Amino acid sequence: MSFIVMTGATAGLGAHAVQRLARPGTQVIAGARGGGAPPAGCQVLPLDLASLESVRGFACAVRSQVDGAGIDVLVLNAGAQFSRDDRRSADGFETTFAVNHLAHYLLARLLLSAMADTGRIVLTTSDTHDPSVIPFGPKRLDVGALAHPPRRGSGLRAYAASKLCNLLTARSLSALDEVKDRGISVIAFNPGLTGGTGLLRGQTRVRRALAPAVLPLVGALLGRSHPQFHVGTPERAGEILAELALGTAVLPPGRVYASLVNAELTFPDPSELARDDAVRDLLWRESAAMVGLPA
Ligand SMILES: NC(=O)c1ccc[n+]([C@@H]2O[C@H](COP(=O)([O-])OP(=O)(O)OC[C@H]3O[C@@H](n4cnc5c(N)ncnc54)[C@H](OP(=O)(O)O)[C@@H]3O)[C@@H](O)[C@H]2O)c1
C-alpha cells in the first residue's frame, strides 16, 4: 500500500488530479474542510488551512493513519484568492498568506519525518509569483507585511506573494540535508492560467461574473505572443499535477520549478526573487517563528 497525502483535492484541478492518484494499492488521504462530496477513492480527514491548530491536528491524524509506513507523496495543492487582503485567519494572519503559504509550510515540516525515502513533495505555485510574467508579481519580500498587512491592499498581490512563498518553500525543502540524504524530490508546480476552477470564489461578484468572458479573451489576444496567458483546462493541469506526484513526469536534475505553459510542461527559471537564497532563508526562518518551530 502506498500513501498519498493531499490538500486541495476537493475542487478545481486538484479534483482532476486525485482521480488519477486514487488507484488500487494507493491510499489517498485528502485534507478538506468538508461540505462537499468527498473525492471518490479518498479518505478525507478534516483540515482547515486557515487554522494552524487544524493543520497540527491533521498532521497528527495522518501520522496515525499511515502508522509508520511512510508517506510516498505529499501534494500541497490547496489555494485561495480574495479581492482584498483584509481577511484574517484563526491565528490572526492575513488569510491568503496563512492558507496558501503558512499552513502548507507547517504541514510540510510536520510531515517531513513521516515521508518515505525517495518520496515526493509537490507544492502548487503560480507564475503570478514572477513580475516578468505578471506586473503585480512581487518585486520584494517583506514577510511581516504579508502576514500582517499595515494597510488594506490588493488580494491579487497577496495571492502572487503567497505563490512566491510556495516556490521559496519548495527550494528550502529541497536544500535540507534530510531531504537530500533520503532522496526526497521537491517540486513547485505552476499549472498556469486555468479556467473553470473555483479559485475566483473569493473575488468580487463583478470579477467572478466577467471571468468566463474575459479569460478566453485574454488567452486569444495575448496567448500567441505570451504563451503564459494561454488559458488551460483543469483536466490538463490535474493530469500534469498527478504525473509529477506519481513521478511519471520528471524534472531535469537540480530543478525545482515545473511550469505548464500552453498545455506543455516546461522547466523555466523562476523569478529572480525566487532564486535568491537569502530571501529563501529569510522566509524559512520567519515562517518557523510564526508557527513556533525551530528554524
Ligand atoms: N486556476 C488558476 O488559474 C491557477 C493558476 C495558477 C495556480 N493555481 C493554483 O492551483 C491550486 C488549485 O487551485 P484551483 O484553481 O483548482 O482552485 P479551486 O478550484 O478553488 O480549488 C482550491 C482547493 O483548495 C481548497 N482550499 C481552499 N481554502 C482552503 C482551506 N482554508 N482549507 C482547506 N482547503 C482549502 C479548496 O477546498 P474547498 O473545496 O473546501 O473550497 C479546493 O479544494 C491553488 O494552489 C492555486 O493557487 C491556480
Residue nearest atom 38 in ligand 1 by C-alpha distance: 10
d(CA 7, CA 46): 10
On average, the pLDDT of the chain sits at 95
pLDDT of res. 251: 98
At 39 the pLDDT is: 83
pLDDT tens readout for residues 260-294:
999 999 999 999 999 999 999 999 999 999 999 99
Residue 291's pLDDT is what? Answer: 98
Nearest to 15 by CA among 162, 190, 198, 193: 198
Q: Where does ligand 1 bind, in terms of residues with CB under 6 Å?
A: 7-8, 10-14, 32-33, 36, 47-50, 77-80, 99, 124, 126, 190-191, 193-194, 197-199, 201
Q: How far apart (Å, rounded) are the C-alpha atoms in residues 132 and 237? A: 22
Q: Whose CA is nearest to atom 24 of ligand 1?
A: 78
Question: Cα(65)–Cα(45) distance, rounded to whole angstroms?
Answer: 10
In order, the DSSP letters of 111-154 are HGGGEEEEEEEEEE--GGG-TTTSTTS-SS--HHHHHS-SS--B
Picking from 126, 80, 77, the residue whose alpha carbon sits closest to that of residue 271 is 126
What's the pLDDT at 41?
A: 85
Residue 282, strand partner residues: none
What's the CA-to-centroid distance between 46 and ligand 1, angstroms? Answer: 16
Strands of the sheet with 26-32, listed across from one edge: 42-46, 26-32, 2-7, 71-76, 115-124, 185-190, 257-261, 264-266
Checking if the pLDDT of 35 tops 80, the result is: no
Q: Is the pLDDT of residue 148 over 90?
A: yes
Closest CA to 255 of 188, 176, 178, 191: 188
Q: Are 6 and 30 in contact (CB under 8 A)?
A: yes
pLDDT value, residue 224: 83
Q: Helices 155-175 and 103-111 sit at what angle, rounded to 10 degrees?
A: 20
Query: Residue 38: helix, strand or coil by DSSP?
Result: coil
The parent domain of residue 177 ranges over 2-291
Å from CA of 222 to ligand 1 middle: 25
User: CA distances (Å), 56 to each of 9, 63, 115, 155, 288, in order?
Assistant: 19, 11, 16, 26, 14
Cα(177) to centroid of ligand 1, in Å?
Answer: 30
- From CA 198, how far away is CA 168, in angstroms rounded? 25
Active site residue 159: yes
Task: Let me know: does 4 contact 245? Beta carbons within 8 Å.
Answer: yes
Of 82, 97, 159, 257, catalytic: 159
Long-range CB contact pairs, 140-144, < 8 A, 24+: 140/273, 141/165, 141/168, 141/273, 141/279, 141/282, 141/283, 143/282, 143/283, 143/286, 143/287, 144/286
Residue nearest to atom 29 of ligand 1 (CA): 49
User: What is the average per-residue pLDDT within 178-205?
Assistant: 95
CB distance 192 to 259 below 8 Å: yes
pLDDT value, residue 295: 95
Residue nearest to atom 6 of ligand 1 (CA): 126
Determine the residue type at 225. S
Number of domains in the chain: 1
Taking residues 88-115, what's their average pLDDT?
98
The grid cell for 234 is 483543469
Half-sphere exposure of 255 (CA within 13 A, CB side): 15
Question: Would you state the pLDDT for residue 215?
Answer: 86
Residue 36 has pLDDT above 90, yes or no: no
8-state DSSP, 85 = S
Pairing state of beta strands 115-124 and 26-32?
Answer: unpaired
Residue 134 clears pLDDT 80, i.e. is over it: yes
**Spatial distance between the Cα atoms of 124 and 74, rounded to a whole number of angstroms:** 11
For residue range 242-264, list pLDDT tens digits in order.
Answer: 999 999 999 999 999 999 999 99
Q: How far is the CA of 209 from the centre of ligand 1 (A)?
A: 19
Average pLDDT over residues 164-179: 98
pLDDT tens profile 202-227:
888 888 888 888 888 888 888 888 88
Looking up residue 119, the CATH number of its domain turns out to be: 3.40.50.720
| pTM to 2 decimal places | 0.97
pLDDT of residue 207: 87
